[in-house]
Structure 1
Amino acid sequence: MVWIYRAFFEPGTGSNKREKEHEQGLLLLRRALREQYGMDYGDGRKPVLIEGAHGKPYLREYPQIQFNISHCMGLAVLGVGECSVGIDVEYVRPYREPLLKRVLSAAELRQMEAAGEAGREELFFRFWTLKESYVKAVGCGITVPLQDISFQIGDDGGITCEKTGWKFRQWILAGGYVLSACVSGEGEIRLAEQEERP
């Protein structure tokens, strides 16, 4: 089982923006470790994190517990479980056209062309977050060309990918966010029941 946690927060500005986003992700991690594994970090202690070869963080004392954090414009998300997990969230916004050919596969470009003008921004970020969740789950960062990872999104929201051994889920969240998760194997992916708001 992989649990997905979310927390909306007031975004920081200037130099403290990244620090505030990172802190929100760590608060989610502490909450998930408490709720799912009975680990209490309530006295201000923080889990000790180490980084893998491409920057993917791990828990030093509990390497069997896998997690991944993403944040964007006032929303932090966390995926945690006992299998490889990657998660990404993005706020739907305009994108630069040249980015399409650098990021999307030929099949994805065809799907973008078939989408109406009104739906293209969301579709682009649906593809982007799926790709990001995959490379984060694998732990390779963006060291592989993203156009080499190809997804198809069905009219029913079903997701297919040529990468075998991975499961994908995606949510379109209120407020204009796209959230994607990738896990190894066939494990279940579930949203945590309560969503934290400031």
Structure 2
Amino acid sequence: MASTSIRWAFNWANWHPTEKDLLKVVSCLQNEEKERLGKFVFRKDFRASVVGRLMMRKFINEYTDIPYNEIIFTRDQNNKPMLENASKSIAFNISHQGSFTVFVGEIRNVKLGVDVMKLEYTGGKRLSEFFRLMDRNFSPAEWIEIRGGTGTPESEQTAMFCRYWALKESYVKGLGVGIVIDLRNIEFRTSSRLRENELVIDTSLYINGVRQNWFFEESLLDSEHCVAVAVQGIESVNSSKNVLFEKISIGKLLENAVSLIPQDPEYCRQYFAKRERP
């Protein structure tokens, strides 16, 4: 099978399922997924996560020879979802933050990570104090770009901070280890500004001053959300289709889905009884 690169984004904040919709969605999951999702306290977190599960299933079903009802997901030692008994070179990763859940998938043997960030700061402290507390996570050169010159608006500083954080998260997620390494040694060097409907592919990664064999895709989903994709291997520059994220609907997510478990009205009633957010 030829290599395939998939980039999907779903605005879950604008998706408010009816009871009928939710019954269908939940029936298309494994029991373990259903139980895990049922533990969310707020509806917003459930929706953001369940969309990711549907994206995984859609990707495997459409781009491998595995029937929808035979797809089985497990988790690795780092609790990262993985396809059980995968016979092909498959990589995928999910992230959700702000209003979006994003999915990246590759039919080829690569390491792959993605992170989406809403370009806002809601921490309560002064931005300068927040930056002070986060100092150890960025190199001096990165902080120069994040803070900008004298008079740089806080909104621009926040946006650049989120861009760098998305890059670092996408990389460590691609490694599959979580943020347990010294982020100051992971230095990104950007060359282009992010703009809507444009893909930036000229950002590079250096560790302890040595350029790394990783390729990065950056873009804006809208004026409020940035997304970064990390793919291992400089060869990815030549083989990647450099595609922007496709914004998909719930209808497209479910177009080939089949029920795996019985519909559960009580489970859905529990969802609607929850608060939307804190």
TM-score bracket, normalised by the shorter chain, equals 0.7 to 0.9
Distance, in Å, in 1 between the alignment partners of 2:191 and 2:144 is 13
Give the 5 Å matches for 1:149-188. 149-155=186-192, 158-163=202-207, 164-185=212-233, 186-187=235-236, 188=240
**Counterpart for residue 10 of structure 1:** 13
Distance, in Å, in 2 between the alignment partners of 1:162 and 1:152 is 8
2:93 equivalent to 1:68: yes
Contact 1:55–1:141 (CA under 8 A) maintained in structure 2: no
1:33 Cα offset (Å)? 2.2
More strand by share: 1
Q: Residue 156 of structure 2 is aligned with which of 119, 128, 139? A: 119
Q: Cα RMSD over matched residues?
A: 2.5
Give the 5 Å matches for 1:1-198. 1-10=4-13, 14-41=41-68, 45=69, 47-62=71-86, 64-81=89-106, 82=108, 83-94=110-121, 96-114=130-148, 116-117=152-153, 118-155=155-192, 158-163=202-207, 164-185=212-233, 186-187=235-236, 188=240, 190-191=242-243, 194-197=246-249
1:40-69 deviations in Å (ceiling 9; x for gaps): 42xxx4732222232222111316311111
TM-score by length of 1: 0.85
Distance, in Å, in 1 between the alignment partners of 2:131 and 2:79 is 29
Change (3 A) 1:47 1:192: farther
Instruction: Mark the structure with the bigger radius of gyration.
Output: 2
Distance, in Å, in 2 between the alignment partners of 1:29 and 1:68 is 8
Matched residue of 1:168: which SS?
Answer: strand
TM-score by length of 2: 0.63
1:155 Cα offset (Å)? 3.6
Matched residue of 1:29: which SS?
Answer: helix
Matched residue of 1:17: which SS?
Answer: helix
Matched residue of 1:62: which SS?
Answer: coil
Change (3 A) 1:132 1:91: same
Contact 1:5–1:78 (CA under 8 A) maintained in structure 2: yes
1:107-147 deviations in Å (ceiling 9; x for gaps): 10121233522411111011000000000001111111222
Distance, in Å, in 1 between the alignment partners of 2:192 and 2:229 is 19
Distance, in Å, in 2 between the alignment partners of 1:193 and 1:142 is 25
**Percent of aligned pairs with the same residue?**
24
1:167 Cα offset (Å)? 0.7
What are the ranges of 5 or more consecutive residues in structure 2 without an aligned counterpart?
17-39, 124-129, 194-199, 251-278
Distance, in Å, in 2 between the alignment partners of 1:32 and 1:75 is 18
Matched residue of 1:150: which SS?
Answer: strand
Contact 2:92–2:105 (CA under 8 A) maintained in structure 1: yes
In structure 2, what residue type is equivalent to 1:113?
R
